[in-house]
Structure 1
Amino acid sequence: MKTRIEQALQECAEHARTQVLIDKRQGKIPTQAECDQLVPGMDVKLAIFLGDEMHKEALQCAGERLSQLVPGGFSLEPRYRYDKTTKKTTFISEEEAQSLLRQWRGDELKGTLRPDVVIHSGNPLQVRAVYDLKFPCTDSGRPTPWTRYTEGPHQGFDQKQVYWTALGMEPFRVVPWLGIFK
């Protein structure tokens, strides 16, 4: 089942990258210089813009594919809070997160973790696998590194370290055309 899940995630990542590049760039892969430029009319670099669009597309695809493979046994962008002092991880439902935001209590969500895909037993706290989609802006032939936290409670650590500690499973990166990486 792990192989089928990873194949589905890989295919979704590849589909998303291809589709977004077709839709937003007429299929052209950007250069590093283009990736670093701001998108006209937006206050965001092209690399971030394309990555966000690819994530949306890939997560929609992953939801459809995983619903067939592991119905009820996965979450897309689940939110977890990890307390380093007690070493306890709690799951925050999307309803709870939205309620906090509506009450202007969004600060309570700072430092929470949101891996892209979590495979679980049906209970998001009984984690079986963790995957994070990584979309390099250029075709460097190298996997995008784990994001390093520069502020907040996880400052100085990268996503891999924090996800592994909080969720108890080594996470994997899903990179289009390159594969699945630790």
Structure 2
Amino acid sequence: MLEKTLQVTQSIQGFLTVTKFLDEAQKKHAEDLIVACVKEAHFKVEEELFGKGKSLPASDCNKPPAVEKKLAPTWRRHLGLLKHAAAFACIQERFSEEFPNNFSVEPRYRKDDLTKEVILTDRMAGSLRPDLVLHFTRNATRIQCIYELKFPCGDEKKDPWSIAEVDKQMRSYADLGGACKPALVTPQMGLDRR
């Protein structure tokens, strides 16, 4: 009898969490976690590769990485992949504890040709893949907020919003909908919606 009561209680709790977005306080906390993970990932990768308090000179960003396991042909891309992986691991760990059913890392979306509704897809052509999405509980197509992580290469000081490609990317994410404007998250500026 106790086991049946426990199962019913768990079912009711599961049903109650199926039907909501994060409230404002939860969203703010989630965004604070995202920013913390991005900053930690940036500094952790920089420190592991170049030493405490050191960075790659910006002049080396387009050169081949001087490491044994190259993930990309340039330092810029290599560092970006490492920092994204570290940030995603941090976000997965922290969000899995607090918001396990309200986020997706790198979901791929497109608009259905007939209904024009946003759907998940594995098709690359005509799709978008934001870094992180907060969404309705257990429903990644009901978007709450979209986040794109951008990391500077070494000691670069460039504002990512000044890059035409980034501006275009953020406008395309806005077309997916959501309750808030898509945000860039960087270690130097934190969370930035423009």
Same fold, judged at TM 0.5 (above) = yes
1:139 to partner: Cα distance: 3.5
Q: Which runs of 4+ in 1 moved over 6 A?
A: none
Secondary structure of 2:111's aligned partner = strand
1:74-153 pair list within 5 angstroms: 74-82=103-111, 87-92=116-121, 97=122, 108-122=123-137, 123-145=139-161, 148=165
Secondary structure of 2:152's aligned partner = coil
1:83 to partner: Cα distance: 5.2
How far apart in 1 are the matches of 2:119 and 2:97? 27
Greater gyration radius: 2
Please give the TM-score of this superposition, normalised by the length of structure 1. 0.78
1:144 to partner: Cα distance: 1.9
Secondary structure of 2:110's aligned partner = strand
The answer as to 2:172 corresponding to 1:162 is yes
Secondary structure of 1:111's aligned partner = coil
Query: Quick check: 1:74–1:117 contact (8 Å CA) kept in 2?
Result: yes
Identity of aligned residues (%): 30
| 1:59-114 deviation digits (Å, cap 9, x = unpaired) | 0100111112212111011111135886332112xxxx3xxxxxxxxxx4223211
Query: Quick check: 2:37–2:87 contact (8 Å CA) kept in 1?
Result: yes
Q: Which structure 1 segments of 5+ residues have no match?
A: 98-107, 150-156
Give the partner amino acid of 1:113.
L
Instruction: Between 32-41 and 10-19, report the one with greater CA deviation.
Output: 32-41
Secondary structure of 2:184's aligned partner = strand
The answer as to 2:55 corresponding to 1:29 is yes
Query: Quick check: 1:80–1:91 contact (8 Å CA) kept in 2?
Result: yes
Cα 1:138/1:8, change in 2 over 3 Å: same
How far apart in 2 are the matches of 1:83 and 1:148? 24
Cα 1:147/1:55, change in 2 over 3 Å: farther
How far apart in 1 are the matches of 2:136 and 2:91? 17
How far apart in 1 are the matches of 2:60 and 2:94? 33
How far apart in 1 are the matches of 2:177 and 2:164? 17
Give the partner amino acid of 1:148.
E
